[in-house]
Each structure stands twice: as C-alpha cells, then as structure tokens.
A and B are shown apart, each in its own frame.
Chain A
Amino acid sequence: MSGLSLNGVCKSYGPVNVIKNLDLEVISGEFLVLVGPSGCGKSTLLRMIAGLEEITDGTISIGDRIVNDLPASQRNLSMVFQSYALYPHMSVRKNLAFGLTNLKMSKDEIKRRVDEASEILQIGNLMDRKPRQLSGGQKQRVAIGRAIVREPELFLFDEPLSNLDAELRVQMRVELAGLYNRLGTTMIYVTHDQVEAMTMATRIVVLREGKVEQVGTPYELYNRPQNLFVAGFIGSPKINMLETKCQSGNGASQIEIEDFGSAEIARLGSDSTAITVCVRPENFEINGSGVLSAKGKIVLIEYLGSELYLHLELSSGKRLMIKAPSKAEHLVGDEMSITIDIDNCHYFDEAGLRIEPAKMTEAA
C-alpha cells in the first residue's frame, strides 16, 4: 500500500481557478475526509486524483510514482460516485465483473472476487437483478461492491451517501466504517456533511474555495480550529461568534463583549483590538454568575430528546445558540442568564486566524 501526495496542484476551467496551489499528503491506510461547502472543489480534487480530470499545474504521486499522465484505469484505484453510476443494462453480477473482465482476469479469479464482495456486502440475492430493480441502499452497496472487487490501493468516494434517506445514511456510515476496518485500504472520502466527516475520518481536510483551510483529526478540528471558517464549519449546531474589543497589555488582555461585559484573561498572542470570541453551544453555564454573563430571552426551543437547544436573544438583538440538558424546564419567552466558560473559548484575530491565550500556549 502506498500514500498519495499532491504538490502545488492547480485546476482552472478557463479563467476560473477551482483548485489553487494545493499541497496534501495522504498517509497510507488512512481514512481521509475532504469536507467543505458546496462548490469548493471537492469533487474536482477527487476527480483529479482519479485521473478523470486533467491537472492544470502541479503533480500528483501515488507512492513514489508521479501519475499526472497515467490513465484512470492504471492508477489502481476505485471510485464510488454520488449517483452510483451503475451500468443500467448490466446485471449486478456483470456490473461487478465488468472492470475485471476488461483486465483480462481469469474466470475463476473474477468469480472468487465477485463472490467475496457479494458476501461482504450481503448482496448475494441481488446478483441477477438490473440496477433499476434495486432500492437506493442496494444500489449503494453494489456501487461499493464494484469498487471492492478491483482490490485497489485507494478508494475514492464522492458523497456516496447523499442520495440516501437519513436512517439509511447512518446505517451505511457504520457499514463503511466497518469496511474500512476490514480492508485497511487508504480511503479518500468527499462530503459536505460535517457529521459524516467527524464520525468516519481518521483525518479531515477542510476545503474552502479550492484552498485547504485546515488538516487534522476530528478532535483537533473541533477543539482547536485554526481559523474562523473552520470554527464555523465544524460543529453542529454552529459555534457562536461574538465580536469583541480587546486591549492587550503586560501579561494580560482585557476583553469586552457586547451584552456580556468585560473580563481580564491571560494575554493573547496578538495585539489585535477587534477580535472574535467563539463559544460552542455547550460552553455556556446556564444561570451562572461569573464574569462575562448576559441576560437574554428565549425565542425558540429545539427539543432533541437527549438535549435542548435554546435560541436566546440578547438585549442588543444578537442571537445565540445554547445547549441545555433535556430535563431543564424552559419556556419560550423566559428570561435567563448565561455565562461564558472562559476556559473553552476560541479567539480569532481580525484576519480570522486563531490566537492563543498565553497560558495555553505555555501548556502546549
């Protein structure tokens, strides 16, 4: 098995640069998820790796070999498409075997591989059906089966679950994770759904407008987002962003947040005066009374069973999302006070880059 590396990869359609000078190392055997908003170039990047799209500039190598000019079929990879792209006129069995027949593989070997894939994916009873006779979830399995039989070095998935209903999506997510554990092959998985990304990835790449915003484990992305975009993109419901005035002096920074008042914190590693403080919905203390408290009115309650999300309107009109335990008794229209948990805040400078308070930098 071998890793994959992209060096200075660019892609433009005419004057439009879709991928901009992108560097990325994919470690052999990892489950890498490319995540980003629609239109940020995830599919384009994946298709360039697959060899379906020409590279405008830069190099792509698999192992030590530069594969820029290698046709898709010789890159030893499989791809699962969003629309499944099963051949409508072939039975499931033929769909699975088609690529292997093209490789002039022996009949016995083809049969062995097809049987194995059908066993792994439990599609044995569907083998003689045509794709139109399959449900969405079954088509998905067949598409994955078609990828498995090639026994590739690299799997590419382009939003494979986005056409499934919510329940099936969760189920297939688990199955895909199981498949990854079983095969241990390198996988690159594209999605715009950050929940999928968080649950499946060993590492996540956050893309925006053709650029890498951050690469890291799900834990790193959630707990140490490197910029405002990542902070806002990862995490559901969305992180709360508070515009803040900041005065940094010797050994301490004085921050002042509208509605919440001011507080002194450890010195931030930047002299910006206008920063953004980000607080996740679960990092508020309800009815707390520390520094940085604010009062607000509940305008909407989302009940999720295990927890509640409160939409709180502060006196300035700013709205926050607060997580509360599900047993808590809140009513729309109630006044409540909340306190920011200062130890679990994220700070970003004017350019949107992460800044660390001094003590955390020391600790790290």
Chain B
Amino acid sequence: MPDTTIANHELNLASQSVEAKNTNAAEISKQLRANRHKRESRQALLKHLFLGFFAILMLYPLLWMMAASVKPENEIFGNLSIWPSAFHWDNYAHGWNRMQVSFTTFYANSFLVTILSVIGNLISCSFAAYAFARLTFDLKKFWFALMMMTLMIPYHVVLIPQYVLFLELGWVDTYLPLVVPRFLAADAFFIFLMVQFFRQLPRELDEAAMIDGCSPYKIYWAIIMPLSLPAMATAGIFSFIWVWEDFLAPLIYLNDMNNYTVPLALRLFVDQDSQSAFGQMFAMSVLSLVPVILVFVIFQKLIIKGIGMSGLK
C-alpha cells in the first residue's frame, strides 16, 4: 500500500513538471512569434517604401500624360501640379476629329497593319523555327548563324536599300512593305525565341506522332503548335506592341494621310503650326495605349495557361 502511494505521488510530480515545461514552451514560442512579426513588418515597410518610390518614378510620365489629356491648354506646361484644375473631357472628342481624316480611320489602319503583322510573324516565324529545331537540311547551322546575324544589324543600316527595293517594286505608299516581310519570317528574334522553346519539347513526342502516321507538317500543327502556346503568346504580345507603336517604318513608307497609322497621326498634332492642341494630342496618346494594354492582359492569360499545362515530363 505505501509503495503505491509513493509511486502515485511521484507520478503527480512528474506530470506537473511536464505541464510546467509545456506552458513555458508555449510562452517562449509566443514571444518568438511576436518578435518575428515585428521584424517582418518593419522589413515590409522598408520594402514598400523603396518599391513605391521607384514605381512613382517610372509611372510619373504616364500619369503626367493622362493628367495633361484632360487639362485646359494653358495649364499643361504652366502648372507643375499633376492634378488638373478642371477636367476637359472634350479634348478626347475634339482630338478624335481634329484632322481632316478622323482617328477612326487611323485606328482601322493600325489594326489592319498590326493584326496582319502579328499573324504573319506567328505563322512564318514558327515555321522557320520548327525547321531549325526539328528538321534536317543542308547547312542548317550556317543558315541559323546567318539568321542570328540579322539580329545584330541595326534597322537604320538597311533602311535605304530596303526603301529602294520597295520603291522598285512599286510598294511605297501601300501597307505591303510593312506587312509582307512579316509573312517571310523576317523577324529573327521571334524565330530564335521559338527555336529555343521547341527544342525543349521532347523529341519522343515527334517520334510517337511519326509512328502514329503524322507528316512533319501534321506534327507541327497537331503536336508542336498546341504545346507552344506560351511561346506563341509571348511572340504575339511583343510583335503586337512593336508593330503598333512603330513610327519609323510607317513614316517612311506611307505618304497619303488616309493610310496613316495612329503613331503617324499623333505627329500631325505637332505639325499643325498655327494653333496648339497639346491636350488633344495627349488625349489621343492615352487612347493609343489602350489596345496595347488590352492585348497584354488577354495574351498574358495564355502564357500562364501554357505554363500550367506543362506536364511534359
């Protein structure tokens, strides 16, 4: 009997000390958590201040332009404040119809050129890339190197010979010089981008498709293409942005105002010497950004979807 009581007593002591240990541990961990929380929120604050500063620095010109597009004419350059004293929304309506050709036409032109160019780039560059990545042909390495070299030549170097060529062809003042080269895989950058992407697709997929009776064309169309949506979306976005905002090539090849693209039309505001209309110009500039942003948002989803789809291994 006495033995058991002693044993029980010891047991109680033991469980008490375990409890004490537990509460102690809980307190320590609470303390640690609080410390970490404090440390983290301090770091987060610093990080956000830093990022916010640079974000404002980067966004300032854009914000300035958006503000200027609704400011009264005399306030644009005279007043440092970004916030307009009054909102002149009619800058948009007047700007749209200020030229003898309306912006509706300019937008239609821009969309025509841009969409054709994007389609041309995607089709022709992916064809060329497929050939470089998968097919065997003579002097493949040589042609690839040659293609990469075109990346290193500045556009301004080939400008004059190219102009002469298109002049001889009678293509000046048409959209052909802007669009046709894109159907001929003239953009080495996109070819390179896609070659890199195609190369990581397992070759065994091609081979399985070959046994399944696919021609090289069918392999491209049924296997490579659907698996390359991310690369296609990337190429599509860049190609859209670059063509949409291209100023130099349209300036050189388009003469008739009816054929002008949006960036060319924007310049007309500056040319009109008599009466300044900067508010309207900025209004149109803001509008010209909308398609670029829309395209980016839409195609970006494809990039993400493409990444989510990769279960290749």
Contact = CB atoms under 8 A, between A and B. Distances in A.
Interface of A: 47, 50-52, 71-73, 77-79, 81-83, 85-89, 98-99, 102-103, 130-133, 146
25 contacts: A47-B207, A51-B211, A52-B207, A52-B211, A71-B210, A73-B213, A73-B214, A77-B211, A79-B207, A79-B211, A83-B313, A85-B202, A85-B204, A85-B205, A85-B207, A87-B208, A87-B223, A88-B309, A88-B311, A89-B309, A98-B209, A99-B213, A102-B214, A103-B213, A133-B311
A102 B213 contact: yes
Interface in B181-219: 202, 204-205, 207-214, 218
A219 B220 CA distance: 47
Interface in B290-313: 309-313
Nearest to A50: B211
A85 B208 contact: yes
Contact of A98 (B212, B311, B312): B212
A81 B212 contact: no
B159 to A, nearest CB: 42
Given A88-B312, A102-B218, A81 B208 contact: yes
| Most chain A Cβ neighbours within 10 Å, of B204, B212, B312, B313 | B212
B210 A89 contact: no
B170 interface: no
A77 B212 CA distance: 10
B226 interface: yes
B210 to A, nearest CB: 5
Nearest to A139: B311
Contacts of A82: 204
Contacts of B204: 81-83, 85
Contacts of A88: 205, 227, 309-312
Given A85-B205, A89-B226, A102-B218, A131 B311 contact: yes
A205 B312 CA distance: 32
A355 B177 CA distance: 80
Contacts of A52: 207, 210-211
B310 A102 contact: no
Nearest to B205: A85
A85 B202 CA distance: 8
| Most chain A Cβ neighbours within 10 Å, of B211, B218, B226, B310 | B211
Contacts of B214: 73, 102
Interface in B86-101: none
B221 to A, nearest CB: 12
Contacts of B208: 79, 81, 85-87, 146
Given A89-B227, A130-B311, A131-B311, 14 more contacts: A51-B211, A52-B210, A78-B211, A79-B207, A81-B208, A86-B208, A87-B208, A88-B311, A88-B312, A89-B309, A99-B212, A102-B212, A132-B311, A133-B311
Contacts of A132: 309, 311
A78 B209 CA distance: 11
Per CB-CB distance, the 10 closest pairs between chain A and chain B, nearest first, are A132-B311, A99-B212, A102-B213, A73-B213, A85-B204, A85-B208, A89-B226, A81-B204, A72-B211, A72-B210
B313 to A, nearest CB: 7
A83 B311 contact: no
B107 to A, nearest CB: 36
Nearest to B225: A89
A94 to B, nearest CB: 10
Contacts of B309: 88-89, 132
Nearest to B208: A85
Contacts of A146: 208, 212
Interface string B47-76: 000000000000000000000000000000
Contacts of A102: 212-214, 218
Contacts of B312: 88
Contacts of B211: 50-52, 72-73, 77-79, 99
B226 to A, nearest CB: 5
| Most chain A Cβ neighbours within 10 Å, of B205, B210, B213 | B213
B216 to A, nearest CB: 11
Contacts of A85: 202, 204-205, 207-208
B168 to A, nearest CB: 44
A58 B218 CA distance: 30
A99 B207 CA distance: 12
B249 to A, nearest CB: 37
A217 to B, nearest CB: 30
Interface in B149-203: 202
A347 to B, nearest CB: 44
A87 B205 CA distance: 7
B229 to A, nearest CB: 9
Contacts of B212: 73, 98-99, 102, 146
A89 B205 CA distance: 11
B213 A81 contact: no
A164 B310 CA distance: 21
A131 B205 CA distance: 13
A102 B214 CA distance: 7
A225 to B, nearest CB: 34
Contacts of B218: 102
Nearest to B201: A88
| Most chain B Cβ neighbours within 10 Å, of A85, A99, A102 | A85
A235 B75 CA distance: 92
Contacts of B311: 88, 130-133
A232 to B, nearest CB: 31
